[in-house]
């Protein structure tokens, strides 16, 4: 599956040391996203920079769509623009507002949690590990709707 990628899923998957779960996808990462990993003091910086050199990852310069809302971040605008310009249906993006805009542009947003659930369904991780990773994401600052969290935890029982 081809995925256009925004910044936050890469950061969060790096935070829980699970970027390898993206290796089954062909990833298209806008240059703007690749450049958003700024502080070299952050251990994730080198992990993500190394990951962006993998053979399933394509870092691409793209022109931004002019009709995207100013309220979106630079990486979100670039990821949506890349998906539309390269006819990539699926986009890996976490923030609700950006996901809704992606949908309005005819894209299918998936988030960090979808990557974990897909890994569970493909037997790359266990239910116990999936639950542990979700709680680690939350500890790392990942925001999740309480109702969605409850539904996922029920699914993992």
How much is the pLDDT for 41? Answer: 61
Question: CA-to-CA distance for 92 and 111, rounded, in angstroms?
Answer: 5
Which residue's structure tokens are 């507002």?
97
Query: Does pLDDT of 42 surpass 90?
Result: no
Q: What is the pLDDT of residues 53-86, one digit of tens each?
A: 999 999 999 999 999 999 999 999 999 999 999 9
Structure tokens at 82: 């890349």
Share of the chain above pLDDT 90, in %: 89
CA pseudo-torsion sign 131, 135, 141, 144: positive
Q: Count the Cβ atoms, other than its own, within 10 Å of residue 156.
A: 16
Report the distance separating Cα 126 and Cα 111, nearest Å: 19
Could you give all domains of the chain from N- to C-terminal order, each with its CATH number? Answer: 2-113 (3.40.50.1010), 125-155 (no CATH)
H helix runs in the chain, sequence order: 7-15, 31-34, 43-51, 74-85, 96-104, 112-121, 127-139, 146-155
- Residue 133: pLDDT band by 50, 70, 90 thresholds? very high
For the segment 6-28, what is each residue's pLDDT rounded down to a tens digit? 999 999 999 999 999 999 999 99
pLDDT of amino acid 142: 94
Using the predicted structure, report yes or no on whether residue 39 has a pLDDT greater than 80.
no
């Amino acid at each position: 599956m081809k995925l256009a990628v925004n910044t936050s899923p890469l950061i969060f998957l790096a935070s829980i040391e699970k970027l390898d779960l993206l290796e089954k996808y062909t990833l298209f990462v806008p240059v703007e996203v690749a450049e958003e990993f700024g502080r070299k003091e952050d251990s994730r910086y080198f992990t993500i920079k190394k990951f962006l050199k993998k053979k399933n990852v394509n870092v691409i310069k793209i022109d931004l769509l002019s009709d995207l809302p100013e309220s979106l971040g630079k990486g979100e605008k670039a990821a949506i623009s890349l998906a539309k310009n390269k006819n990539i249906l699926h986009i890996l993006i976490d923030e609700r507002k950006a996901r809704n805009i992606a949908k309005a542009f005819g894209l299918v947003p998936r988030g960090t949690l979808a990557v974990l659930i897909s890994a569970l369904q493909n037997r790359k991780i266990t239910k116990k590990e999936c639950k542990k990773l979700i709680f680690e994401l939350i500890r790392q600052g990942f925001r999740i709707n309480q109702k969605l969290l409850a539904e996922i935890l029920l699914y993992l029982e």
